Amino acid sequence: MNDVSPQSGPKKAPFPFDNSYARLPANFSARVEPTPVAEPWLIKLNRPLAEELRLDIAALERDGAAIFSGNAVPPGAEPLAMAYAGHQFGTFVPQLGDGRAILLGEVVDRSGKRRDIQLKGSGQTPYSRRGDGRAALGPVLREYIISEAMHALGVPTTRALAATVTGQAVYREQILPGAVFTRVAASHIRVGTFQYFAARGDMDSVKALADYVIDRHYPELKTNDNPYLGLLKAVSARQAALIARWLHVGFIHGVMNTDNMTISGETIDFGPCAFMDAYDPKKVFSSIDQFGRYAYANQPAIGQWNLARLAETLVTLFDPTADIAVNLANDALGEYGTIFQTHWLDGMRRKIGLSTAEDGDLERIQSFLTLMHKGNSDFTLTFRRLAASAEDTQADGQLAALFANPEALSPWLADWRRRLEREASAPAERAKAMRDVNPAFIPRNHRVEQAIDAAIRDADFSLFEALLDVTSKPYEDRPEQARYAEPPSPEEEVQQTFCGT
């Protein structure tokens, strides 16, 4: 069982903390210490990320279980639970907040970027709302695997620094082993953070938060004629690019609530989420999304809806005249669709081997996706095999075999090849470029569940480690790991994922 060892108490604080959020007014958070656990064991330490954050690796390997479980708060930490609100499946909840997460503090990484370090599952906070503040082992392993896979795929995301078993049970539908996840983010500020203050009519705090966000994430806006309007536009642009990247790799976020939408433009909260196997634009994985609000094809529109809620909190800062302010907000929100479509279409062109733009490309891409849907073909594997067809027509058979009606693909392939003739790149060069954007490996749902089951049932983390290894290099051909590229058999398919609370 790799990286699992009992730990003694800490001897040294390995974090160079520089905590700015803790210096904001008291109503932005609640000061709270993690609740100690019975017998922590360090499952996994992300050493490359720890190096990037300028942390003391030797100290973490020695004392990591105590620190990452919350049993020992390192010097320099200022633990707090952040206050926020949010629209959850369209319904506004005026107070949510970190109910099972505690921000230890911030560090400045080797590239000069400020990063949060947060414990998730570390005990009750004032925002727990009768919850136990704990996390089960399964959701912790899922978030570790998927967040690191997203990073390797090139999607902006929160990161996994560590996973720790607590040595005590949590009680959900069944008794499960408890664990704590250590998450790293550019920040944990959300659309819901702004909503929290706006809902209380506390515009001084909204402005203070906006100023803080500009200083931390968008310093170029300080000299903008209208920095708060610039903030809305900048957040919108990042979200448009982020959601386009989700769609390019077949990712479905199960809870795109406003409290799960970061101002920094990172993916956050990998609870009920998954990557598609067979392509279906209406696919939903979240067990709590009964009406498909956050289905794959709905994600772009939901992103814009969430941004409209952000605009509502900021609008009075745009202009003292209400009508002018609203018009400015609407114009900014209107730009989102164009930015998203540009990112999405550019990325989809690259996925089918196009480096230039022509008017018919959108229809060509949509036709391919329609064929995939009707043919029940695997999203990831279809695009990966299309790269082989771009280099050699002999590969068409393996590609077509993914479709329920293989011969239906032939007319599209003929049209696609005529389009490729107008590209300057050679076939081998084109195929390589396609493999660079079409992953061979994603954290397939059934593989994630297998890793979780082995860990819970037998304390066997070997499948967890293997999946982390495979998904760390998603664009490389690794014949010895070919089984990880294969779709699930019918009996292995995972239809739902669940919230970790």
Task: Note the pLDDT tens digit of each residue in 137-163.
Answer: 999 999 999 999 999 999 999 999 999
Distance CA 50, CA 249 (A): 27
DSSP string, 434-462: HHTTS-S----HHHHHHHHHHHHHH---H
Distance CA 212, CA 204 (A): 12
Distance CA 463, CA 330 (A): 49
| Token couple for 253 | 């976020």
Q: What is the pLDDT of residues 395-414, one digit of tens each?
A: 999 999 999 999 999 999 99
Average pLDDT (247-254) is: 96
Distance CA 217, CA 265 (A): 10
Q: Supply the residues annotated as catalytic.
A: 259
Distance CA 227, CA 218 (A): 9
| 140: nearest Cα among 179, 88, 106, 183 | 179
Q: What is the pLDDT of residues 106-141, one digit of tens each?
A: 999 999 999 999 999 999 999 998 889 999 999 999
Domain range list for the chain: 5-87+96-188, 192-350, 355-435, 445-492
How many CB atoms are closer than 10 A to CB 94?
Answer: 12
pTM of the predicted model as reported, rounded to 2 decimal places: 0.94
| 221: nearest Cα among 231, 210, 206 | 231
Q: Which DSSP helix (H) or strand (E) runs through 68?
A: helix 57-69
Predicted confidence (pLDDT) at residue 487 exceeds the cutoff of 90: yes
